[in-house]
Chain A
Amino acid sequence: MERVFKGRPIVKGKCKAKALVSHEGFNTLASYQHSLMFGDKKAKCSDQSNRELYGKEMAGRALCLPQTIGSTTGGLVLYCASSFSREPKCMLFSKEIDSLAAAGAILSEVWTDSDMVAVDMLGDEFLSFVQDGDDIEVFEDGSVKVKR
């Protein structure tokens, strides 16, 4: 089964990765806290409140989420994750990107060597359809192919 969703490219790029899905807001600080503090290169999610992601590896995955939530340190946490090469391969937002995630994506693009792609406004249907482990392919125009 294969479906293509069209979003808005925030940080343009092409990439392929396995999906990692959070249907609730992604708390950037809580999720990356353990990885940053204890040097976990695979960046296992440490947000105990996020039952879908807790304990799962985030580095190199296609993180599918509605928006990010929580502390205004969110952007710099994402910047640090990118600097340590522990960022997701891409961040795929169903809603309009929030200001903290936008800051993180832009800081990573301008100030690090990270090639993390970000696409937003993929729609609620995208998040209803995509499942953990699906093959994701992202294109420069913000199209996202989901294959399982």
Chain B
Amino acid sequence: MKLNEREEAILNGKEGEVKAKIMRTLVKYGEIFGAEKMVDITPGTKGHLVTSFGLSVMKPVYALMDEIILSGVKSSQPFSADPIPLDSNVPQSLVQKLFFKIMYGMQSSYNEQLKALGLLDEKAFTCTCYLDEVGNTPKRGDILSWAESSAVVYANSVLGARCNRNSGIIDLFGSIVGCVPFFGLLTDEGRKADYLIEVKTEKLPEAQLLGSAIGLKVMEETPYIVGLDKYFMGLDDSAKAYLKDMGAGAASNGAVGLYHVENITPEAVDYKRALLKEGYKTYVIDDQELERVLESYPVIWKNPDSKAKVAFVGCPHLTEKQLFSWAERIEAALKKNGRKKTVIPLVITAAPAVLEKFRKNEAASRLESEGVVLSYICPLMYMNNPECKKMPTITSSNKLRTYTSSRYMKEEDLIEYVTGGKHGKSI
């Protein structure tokens, strides 16, 4: 790899041994993928880290952070980080609480490390850092050093920024030295599509189910999706929220880092089907195919006939508009089913700044009085607790289903379940 003068100096230890090791890591990482140079992170952008959890067993990570901090090195840009794992408002038994205390015993000290390295602010813990309320929204063409699969795929696809699917630690390393290896999704060639996805369903499919079908098929390749544009008025707020959830499904059930949606996402609007590579493959998704995918999800509850004890919505975190939509639908379903409160606790998660804004509306207190818990938590981190894993939980998030023992339900079925009505066959 050919480095410029500044990068060469860092590699040779002019800015200390720790920074030299960081640069050596990034150079070796880039060389694996044929990167011929490093490229600067766009000035004025912010970073995003996937590691937000002070998990006691990750001690080597915290030791590495200490090594960096003690050497006087900081991030060259402020950064946000994924949601934190703890919120006492979210239902938990005494045993679960005890496990949380042991598991995430390093949360406070890790938060301090993040602050020392350049955390944006105390509200910057969310997987949806790109929402306006949070303040880490990159522009088209910006070069980023992010991790968190759902955020990376959103930044690339919906915002047109450029970022590889980095691992945790690599995200921070790029932010520290201010440059990243130039390969993959950072290049024009790397952003072309390998697959044409034809969506031929009767109505707009459930976002995370569609994303799951796409991810399972294309794995790490890039899809160009047609047939969705008729449901949206361009890239409006509802399209953005839908694509956020679709991308999370594709990035967790596969390894999708970028997708294009005809007539909606910025690069598809500009370049249209010229984005498709020669010899692209085609995958048709109709209602039957989505049913097949849905039925392929394994059930890993100890007793599949158990009744769910908690429901989770908001992985990735919801937008404010989605919060209003859920509030409206929950209220209507409770009324229809003749109930005042949900039959099991429903935890709805969003970024701290989004929740703060939402709480200024009456809908928030109404939701809470109906048995809904509003939280900034990472449901995935919550479910990592072995005592929570044993507890039957349901979710409308395919991402949460993928990584935990939660069972997936379509949104309308989940609403019926938690409000005591009849639910469909997605469970």
Chain A interface residues (CB < 8 Å from chain B) = 10, 25, 29-30, 33, 36-37, 39, 48-49, 67, 69-76, 79-80, 83-84, 97-100, 102-104, 106-107, 109-112
Contact = CB atoms under 8 A, between A and B. Distances in A.
Contact of B166 (A49, A72, A111): A72
B375 to A, nearest CB: 21
B167 A111 contact: no
A115 B32 CA distance: 18
A84 B387 CA distance: 25
Contact of B25 (A36, A84, A107): A107
A70 B61 contact: no
B220 interface: yes
Most chain A beta-carbon neighbours within 10 Å: one of B57, B220, B298, B403: B57
B21 interface: yes
Contacts of B220: 67, 98
B57 A100 contact: no
B271 interface: no
A1 B409 CA distance: 49
15 contacts: A29-B403, A67-B220, A70-B402, A70-B403, A73-B50, A73-B147, A73-B168, A75-B170, A83-B59, A83-B60, A99-B184, A100-B165, A103-B169, A107-B170, A112-B60
B80 to A, nearest CB: 14
A107 to B, nearest CB: 6
A75 B300 contact: no
Given A37-B103, A76-B167, A80-B61, A109 B403 contact: no
Given A70-B403, A71-B149, A98-B255, A110 B168 contact: no
B401 to A, nearest CB: 11
Question: What DSSP secondary structure best describes chain A's contact surface?
Answer: helix
A44 to B, nearest CB: 15
A144 B343 CA distance: 58
Interface in B117-170: 147-149, 152, 164-170
A106 B166 contact: no
A111 B64 contact: yes
A110 B33 contact: no
Interface string B78-114: 0000000000000000000000000100000000000
Nearest to B402: A70
Contact of B170 (A29, A48, A103): A103
A110 B21 contact: yes
A102 B50 CA distance: 17
B166 A99 contact: yes
A65 B149 CA distance: 21
Contacts of B28: 106, 109-110
Question: What DSSP secondary structure best describes chain B's contact surface?
Answer: helix
B60 A33 contact: no
Nearest to B172: A76
Given A99-B33, A102-B32, 8 more contacts: A30-B403, A72-B50, A72-B147, A72-B165, A83-B60, A100-B167, A102-B29, A111-B21
Contacts, number: 104
Given A37-B103, A70-B403, A106 B152 contact: no
Given A72-B50, A102-B32, A111-B21, A36 B57 contact: yes
A75 B164 CA distance: 14
A28 to B, nearest CB: 9
A75 to B, nearest CB: 3
Given A36-B58, A102-B29, A73 B167 contact: yes
A131 to B, nearest CB: 24
A119 to B, nearest CB: 12
B384 interface: yes
Interface in B49-63: 50-51, 55, 57-61, 63
Interface string B382-396: 001010000000000
Contacts of B170: 75, 103, 107
A111 B149 contact: no
Most chain B beta-carbon neighbours within 10 Å: one of A29, A49, A103, A109: A103
Contact of B60 (A69, A75, A84, A97): A84
B75 interface: no
